[in-house]
Copies of this chain bind each other. A is one copy, B any other.
Amino acid sequence: MEDRPLDILNKSLNAPIIIRLRGGREFRGELQGYDVHMNLVLGKAEELKDGEVTRKIGTIVVRGDNVVYISP
């Protein structure tokens, strides 16, 4: 059975995910939406450093270009 990348995002809607961006920035939040460019909407987003929360941001729209990986 195969899970395409966007299938995984679809299954992760309304569930917590962690995303890693270029440059090392990491965010945790609830996936509220996405599009084919992997632009993402995260709710209750928090910035992480070494696994620790460093900032609470609320909702953010992340541009897919910057994403290295998404972990549901």
Evaluate contact between B68 and A66: CB separation under 8 angstroms: yes
Q: Choose among B3, B21, B25, B41 the residue that contacts A5 (Cβ–Cβ < 8 A).
A: B41
- How far, in whole Å, are A65 and B38 apart by their CA atoms in the complex? 11
Q: Choose among B5, B65, B70 the residue that contacts A33 (Cβ–Cβ < 8 A).
A: B5
Number of copies: 7
- How far, in whole Å, are A57 and B18 apart by their CA atoms in the complex? 10
Q: Choose among B5, B13, B63 the residue that contacts A67 (Cβ–Cβ < 8 A).
A: B63
Q: Footprint of B on A, CB under 8 Å? A: 2-9, 13, 21-23, 25, 27, 32-35, 38-41, 45, 57-72
8 inter-chain pairs at a CB distance below 8 angstroms, sorted by A residue, are: A2-B33, A3-B33, A9-B61, A21-B68, A57-B71, A63-B69, A66-B68, A66-B69
